[in-house]
Chains A and B, each alone.
Chain A
């Protein structure tokens, strides 16, 4: 194995997230201002997730530079896809939960064409490009508004963003601005009840010169459930951050206006308050396109971790934005945006606050029943693990394989899955299908690139011991080749029941392999797994302070 390449692959797939960069910059600015004003700042560490406000231009600039590795993480992002249908149908969110996919499909199902509204934005300066922007599809369920945007511009990379930070950025509802720009602090403030539910102004490339994007908002009560709503999106411009310093594609501020009629999508509500151990549930709203959860956390807790899941452990999907507001008496109000809920969704939603920094126990658990519109106190047992299952074929089968095909490993999680297929032959165009009880569950195809086809197979399994523990066993120097495949979606896979893998030659349609799958591996964080002992890293104090004083 090439250690350097392996390390680089890990880093490419694990860049700092845009939210992390944004929240870090925001904390830095807060700290800096507080020091300038000589005012004490609360030093409580704020977790990245609690600071997901809309993008600043500075964060966008950083993200543009750092997201060069995005292609490795979400290959679909970089693909030039044929743009057929509407924006909501084609827009990719990356590795997301089933529920988030349902929400995106719902958006597409309820959306209507926006009509002709193209805005031609002339180049703002030397080296800039003119752009044509239009609203393609719109959605308004009475609470949430979404707009699917199309942009045509030449000469840009795959990494294009809207500049949504500055005095020209705004959203007008029936002509009323929802965002206020503060020149002194260089910050935005939103109107009460207004929130942007999309995390970034990222544009997905769909063809050369053509990009699509999606914006979403929760509108204040005054603009809810109207027959028709006039919306104007105001932008600071468009930027390209493919490599090196951010390039301004077009810095001319522009506006996109559209009117949207309320659709028939059902919005469900749950109202509080319900207080448990210093955490007060306030409200929740869910439409098929998006959901919003609000609660207040007492200041006596040190940044508890919020968990919002269905009661079967599956995720709703993060919509990518969230808000916090400091409370006068200490503590903060948190608002989270998640994937939507379908009207017939009968699973309950469990909201828990985990005191991860102190006791390691759940402070409060709320069980939300959207069908009944109720919220009740729950217990930590109501918070289930996300679905997970893994099959391995057994080391002896790997070692005895000389020719043919063998599914050596299949790991299934909610947002991603990986299947490893060993072969004694050269690369072939194959389709792998997963079946359960005679029903097709999903398909994946082989790809001939470094990520998906390897001449250095690997195999690792946990071996169950008589005392109930699991030990780790590796097979190395396997004289075969290996495919790695991912299923785009596994429809209705039941991890409690066995499955069948079929491997099919794509050219002639012949089934080359049928292999039964029994889920026989523990969850990777199973306490029964015996890992090799890790050395205690704390052997002496660091010279950090000395270093910083030297550097300073």
Chain B
């Protein structure tokens, strides 16, 4: 796959359309649920944890009521919140050491190679993993991923290229 083609491409299935009027709660869930759930699924690796994170994020939205100028800004906010919430979840699990995270638990796969990809993704270094989670799963553009990760779009492209190479090497 050509990285340059991926950069900036909308993978989320939601076409970007600026919206001036504030979104209703239903619309917010409609617009951002896929991004939140996809990132949570990739980061936690289990359906149950992804569902917990999903609810936390949208409750957090209701409590904070951030205002977005456009859908991109909203997607960045929801993505960052999801990344943070997953970290907190991980930390809690490590502290309690109650239920170990079972990779791919409750996740449906249509092929073994998909399962392999998700498991190998978890074995990548954090820098590589995060950029793949945000772009390939969350559907963020490189610009949006850069805002989430706090780096430049160029840095994201470089990380993406390296991450893809590293993952492909593991999958071979």
A-side residues, CB < 8 A to B, are 1-4, 6-17, 20-21, 23-25, 27-29, 31-32, 35, 45-48, 58-59, 61-62, 65-66, 72-73, 356-360, 409, 416, 418, 420, 451, 454, 456, 458-460, 474, 476-477, 484, 524-525, 531-539, 542-544, 547-548, 551-552
**Known A4-B1, A9-B110, A474-B116; contact A27-B55, beta-carbon cutoff 8 A:** yes
User: Do the beta carbons of B30 and A65 come within 8 Å of each other?
Assistant: yes
Whether A420 and B64, one on each chain, are in contact in the complex, defined by CB atoms closer than 8 angstroms, is: no
Q: Which of B30, B34, B74 has the most CB of A within 10 A?
A: B30
Interchain CB contact under 8 A, A358 and B164: no
Residues of B close to A46: CB separation below 8 A = 55
User: Which chain B residues lie closer than 8 Å to A542 at the CB level?
Assistant: 80, 83-84, 87
Give the interface of B toward A (CB within 8 A).
1, 6, 11, 25-26, 29-30, 33-34, 37-38, 41-42, 47, 51-52, 54-56, 58-68, 73-74, 76-77, 80-81, 83-84, 86-87, 90-91, 94, 96, 98-99, 102-105, 107-114, 116-119, 122-123, 125-126, 132, 136-137, 150, 164, 167-168, 171-172
B26→A25 contact, CB < 8 A: yes
Nearest Cβ in chain B — how far from A55, in angstroms? Answer: 13
Most chain B C-beta atoms within 10 Å of own C-beta, residue among A409, A477, A538, A542: A542
- A530 shortest CB reach to chain B, Å: 13
- Establish whether residues A551 and B55, one from each chain, have CB atoms under 8 Å apart when the complex forms: no
Q: Nearest 6 pairs between A and B by C-beta?
A: A360-B98, A544-B84, A552-B66, A551-B66, A542-B84, A58-B26
> Is A23 a contact of B73 with CB atoms below 8 Å?
no
Which B residues are in CB contact (< 8 Å) with A20?
37, 51, 54-55
Contact assessment for A45 and B52 in the assembled complex, using a CB-CB cutoff below 8 Å: yes
Q: Which residues of B contact A544 (CB under 8 A)?
A: 80-81, 83-84
B37 touches A31 (CB 8 A): no
Q: A3-B1, A6-B113, A476-B171 are in contact. Are A552 and B64 (CB under 8 A)?
A: yes
Say what secondary structure dominates the interface of chain B: helix
Residues of B within 8 A of A524 (CB): 102, 104
- State the CA gap A552–B78 with chains docked (Å): 12
Q: Decide if A47 touches B110 in the complex (CB within 8 Å).
A: no
What is the chain A residue whose CB lies nearest that of B147?
Answer: A547
When distances are taken between beta carbons in the complex, the residues of chain B under 8 Å from A356 are 98-99
- A–B complex contacts, Cβ < 8 Å, 5 sampled: A10-B118, A24-B29, A25-B25, A538-B87, A552-B64
In the assembled complex, how far is the CB of residue A303 from the closest CB belonging to chain B, in whole angstroms?
Answer: 9
Which residues from chain A contact B76 at a C-beta distance below 8 Å? 547, 551
| The one of A1, A21, A359 that contacts B29, using a Cβ cutoff of 8 Å | A21
Contact of A525 among B87, B102, B164 (CB under 8 A): B102
A7 to B132, CA, bound (A): 10
Give the chain A neighbours of B73 by CB distance below 8 A: 551
Contacts of B37 in A (CB 8 A): 14-16, 20
Contact B91–A538 (Cβ < 8 Å): yes
Given contacts A359-B98, A533-B123, A547-B77, 5 further A-B contacts (CB under 8 A): A6-B117, A28-B25, A47-B52, A476-B171, A547-B81
B63 and A35: CB pair below 8 A? yes
Point out the residues of chain B lying under 8 angstroms from A548, CB to CB: 60, 64, 66, 77, 81
Query: Across the interface, do B167 and A48 meet the contact criterion of CB distance under 8 Å?
Result: no
Whether the Cβ atoms of B77 and A477 lie closer than 8 Å is: no
> Is the Cβ of B136 less than 8 Å from the Cβ of A1?
no
Q: Is the CB of B126 within 8 A of A537?
A: yes
Question: Do residues B108 and A551 form an inter-chain contact, with CB atoms below 8 A?
Answer: no
- In the complex, which residues of chain A have a beta carbon less than 8 angstroms from the beta carbon of B87? 537-538, 542
Contacting B67 at CB < 8 Å: which of A7, A58, A551?
Answer: A551
Residues of A within 8 A of B98 (CB): 356-360
A24 touches B58 (CB 8 A): yes
Q: Is the CB of B29 within 8 A of A25?
A: yes
Q: How far is the CA of A25 from the CA of B23 in the complex (A)?
A: 14
**Distance A61 CA – B31 CA, assembled complex (angstroms):** 12
Question: A4, B6: Cβ atoms under 8 Å?
Answer: yes
Known: A3-B132, A21-B33, A358-B96. A458 touches B116 (CB 8 A): yes
Measured CB to CB, the closest approach of chain B to A226, in angstroms, equals 40
Given contacts A4-B1, A360-B96, contact A454 B111 (CB under 8 A): yes
Complex Cα gap A536–B66 (Å): 31
Question: Shortest Cβ distance from B35 into chain A, in angstroms?
Answer: 10
Q: Which of B37, B111, B113, B114 has the most CB of A within 10 A?
A: B111
CA distance A72 to B111 in the complex (A): 12
CB nearest to B9 among chain A residues: A4
Cβ contact of A62, chosen from B11, B30, B171, cutoff 8 A: B30
The closest CB in chain B to the CB of A411 belongs to B112
Nearest A residue to B30 by beta-carbon distance? Answer: A62
Inter-subunit contact A28/B110 (CB<8 Å): no
CB closest chain-B residue, reference A535: B126
Contact with A31, one of B59, B74, B111 (Cβ below 8 angstroms): B59
In the bound complex, residues from chain A placing their C-beta under 8 Å from that of B117 are: 1, 3, 6-7, 10
